[in-house]
Amino acid sequence: MRPLEQVMTLLDRSHSVFHVVKNMKDALIEAGFAELNENSPFELQENGKYFVTRNGSSIIAFKVPANPKKGYRIAATHNDSPTFVLKPEPLLNKGAVAQINTEPYGGGIYYSWLDRPLSFAGRVFVKEGESVKCVLVDMDEDCLVIPSLAIHMNRSVNENLALNPAKDLVPLWLDRQYEGDFASYLKEAFKLDGEVISYDLALYVREKARLVGGAANLLLSPRLDDLSSSYSSLLAFIDSEAKEGGHVSVFASFDNEETGSMTYQGAFGDFMKNTLKRIGKGLGWKEEARQIAQANSVLLSVDNAHANHPNHPELSDATTNVKLNGGIVLKYNAAQHYTTSGKSAAYVKMLANALNQPIQEFTNRSDLRGGSTLGNLSNAEISLISADIGIAQLAMHSCVELCGANDIARMVELLKAHYEN
């Protein structure tokens, strides 16, 4: 199966961050990786392949070659997307219509969620005797919708749309008149044994990843930011060869980037720093050797980039011309919201030149504030030479986004060269 087809298949099975990490775990286990536990010592061997998770929503995998060079080649991504999270007791009943109380997660484009079939997925914690079990769940049906207000009741809707999450974005629970509490509903709906005591659930749109356009070279899908780059990075990591005397290869995918990464499982936490330290210790590297390894390392922060919008060319920088299917994007920012420097850009460009790949470069218009990503936050915990790269896309943070299908294979190829360099 081609990388594009693999990524599309994975996108359709990624209805929550917990399902994303399960998909990644399954792919790693199939490729011969062994699971480690943060609660236990890391026992490592040369030519070993390992992964470790945190909170079920972040994952770090690594390969140890024979006679490893003291240093790392890392690709770091994020797996969360803007959505709406279900509150602890979310059932609302107004008249004959049942509703679900939610809270926005991340900086989503609210109007994109209106009038679409929705569902919810995530994890449920179930008490069984004296223990608690975590169960992944996915309602996987058209059970929710957020209806627009008719234009007759809001004549200015096409002039100035402002949506209040507590008022305008409350989903209807379709065909549900459940009399009990929501925990009881979950137990019944998912046939769970034991008492439901807590959960982490979020909405998702019932759209599939699909190729569009006359040449079928554009990918339209939910959660392209950042799963198109995340899964491309994973495929490159698995397919790369850990050569004798080479660097330790590391793949990371973090939760909570869309809310600032400052969590236990986020890139601003200590998950990466602690894992790299434990790898070094497991390989017998003393403190100075670990510092040498850090100095010899390169981190690529892989998160999607803005293409120039054809309807709004004035919002792009005068010297920026980023196109869908135009090649992988190097992202720059003088305030270091992106970590790319001349040195790290040269590294990426040399990789691309060897592959005969085009490289695009993005900067924000100087009077507009852009987004940020996880590279600089991760560097606050463990400082590495790093660059920010991504796949160009449109409609970032909409519930359905658009990118160039050809850039999926380019990202896999470029990151495979990064790992093998």
- 179 is written with which tokens? 């009399």
Higher pLDDT, 247 or 370: 247
What pLDDT does 93 receive? 76
Mean per-residue pLDDT, 186-197: 94
Mean pLDDT of the chain: 94
Per-residue DSSP letter, 148: P
Q: Which residues contact 303 (CB under 8 A, 6 or more apart)?
A: 77, 78, 225, 226, 229, 257, 373, 374, 375, 388, 390
What pLDDT does 336 receive? 86
What pLDDT does 94 receive? 66
What pLDDT does 97 receive? 80
Longest dimension (CA), the chain: 72
- Cα separation, 216 vs 369, in Å, equals 33
Q: Within 10 Å of residue 321's Cβ, how many Cβ atoms?
A: 14
From its phi and psi, is residue 363 left (phi > 0), alpha (psi between -120 and 50) or beta?
beta
Q: Is the pLDDT of residue 350 over 90?
A: yes
Q: Is the pLDDT of residue 363 over 90?
A: yes
Confidence band, pLDDT 50/70/90 cuts, at residue 372: confident
Q: How far is CA 139 from CA 20, 186, 377, in A?
A: 16, 10, 34
Q: Is the pLDDT of residue 178 over 70?
A: no
Provide the pairing of β-strand 298-302 with 172-173: unpaired
- 175 is written with which tokens? 């065909």
Choice among 54-63, 125-134, 362-371 with the minimum mean pLDDT: 362-371
Mean per-residue pLDDT, 161-177: 89
Q: Is the pLDDT of residue 176 over 70?
A: no
* Phi, then psi, of 85 in degrees rounded to 5: -95, 135
Q: Is the pLDDT of residue 180 over 80?
A: no
**Tens of pLDDT, residues 293-317:** 999 999 999 999 999 999 999 999 9
pTM of the model: 0.96
Mean per-residue pLDDT, 32-36: 98
